Amino acid sequence: MIWPGLPIARYRFEFSSELPVRLPEYPGSAWRGALGHALKRAVCVVRGTPCKDCLLYRACVYSYVFETPPPAAALKMRKYNAAPHPFVLDVQPNPEPQVFRLGLTLIGQAERQLPYLVHALQQAGRQGIGKRDNRLELQAIQQTDGNGGIHPIWTAEQPLIPLPASIPVIPPPPERCRVQLETPLRLRREEHQVGPRDFGFADLFGTLLRRLSMLSYFHTDTPLETDFAGLMAQARSLVVKEAELAWHDWTRYSSRQDTTMQMGGLTGSFVLDGTALAPFWRYLWLGQWTHAGKATSMGLGRYRLHTEPADVPQPAATA
């Protein structure tokens, strides 16, 4: 068995605005849309051609980050048009009314594309996030190292000098932990959304295990190898305790599909404890950076593990 070891690079982009900015209720979708448009404008050399019809489809930075086609020789996901995207956006609290923070996590080989993404986010801010009136200027970028230390890696006066991606250090499993769902967690079971009343640990763990497996397969050189069926059988028997879950409705507008979309999901928390937690611990710990469920790239499915006893080290927020 090879335990999951995803290299993770975590950054925090800090923007400022001269005028008041009004972002949507959940701005992750607006940031993702602005980033995608800016990145495509920056790197596309074949205008007006659908990505899948382009000769550069499997060699383009935009395609890799936002379309993520499985390689032609891939043994997994042959029936799917796209593999999991190798990035996660994480909207940060604003320290001041006209200062805005955005976390960006790059997974595996995606760290190589950081300069393109920095340029795209800089241009996206200048074009306006969500609305053209919401213009932001990129001021600084920081990166979190493997020990939680924060390092400045770019300013307008300093060239981009990033640190290498690192594999998060996974502490020993605790006796008990509370899983706090920080953004809506969208899970499906048998083509239906999983709600607060029918949620089980296997719903979360199943989607997380698949996500970590696909991320390691498509974006690293060390695919995850484990007893998937055995882990899922154990996950179905792990009891969720002290569940305080609710359904949070959220609607966003998709410019690509020209329609509104329902993006609700689970929020709240629940507790896992006992020796039965140990087989799942490494995956749960890594999932704090990869997120779980649907729409992870725009920041949904973010959770944090609050362990007991309290001396178990906690991960720092994205950059």
309 has pLDDT over 80: no
Q: Kindly report, residue by residue over 154-173, the tens digit of the pLDDT.
A: 999 999 999 999 998 889 99
My answer on whether 302 and 190 are in the same domain is: yes
Residue 193 lies in a domain: yes
Are 19 and 113 in a shared domain?
Answer: yes
Specify the higher pLDDT residue, 236 or 4.
236
The mean pLDDT of the chain is: 89
Q: Which two tokens stand for residue 260?
A: 């509104």
The pLDDT, as a whole number, for residue 260 is 63
Same domain, 150 and 283: no
Residues 16, 140 within the same domain:
yes
Which of 46-50, 116-120, 150-154 has the weakest average pLDDT?
46-50
**Judgement on whether residues 144 and 86 belong to the same structural domain of the protein:** yes
CATH of the domain at 215: 3.30.70.1900
| Domain final residue, candidates 155, 186, 207 | 155
Domain boundary pick from 107, 123, 155: 155
pLDDT digits 0-9 by tens, 123-142: 999 999 988 888 999 999 99
Looking at the chain, the number of H-run helices and the number of E-run strands are 6, 13
Claim to verify: residue 143 and residue 244 sit in the same structural domain: no
Q: What is the CATH number of the domain that holds 45?
A: 3.30.70
- Residues 230 and 99 occupy one common structural domain: no
Residue 243 CB contacts under 8 Å (≥ 6 apart), including other chains = 196, 199, 268, 269, 270, 271
Residue 236 pLDDT > 90: yes
> What is the model's pLDDT at position 318?
55
Q: Which residues pair with 241 in a beta bridge?
A: 271
Percent of all residues in the chain with a pLDDT value above 70, rounded to a whole number:
91
**Count of domains forming the chain:** 2
Q: What does the pLDDT read at residue 311?
A: 46
Please tell me the predicted confidence (pLDDT) of residue 97. 78
When pLDDT is averaged across residues 218-236 and rounded to a whole number, the result is 93
Cα–Cα distance measured from residue 178 to residue 75, given in angstroms and rounded to the nearest whole number: 37
In this prediction the pTM is: 0.91
**97 within a domain of the structure (yes/no):** yes
Is 188 part of a structural domain of the chain? Answer: yes
What is the span of the domain harbouring residue 228? 176-308
- Peptide bond preceding 309: is omega within 30 degrees of 0, i.e. cis? yes
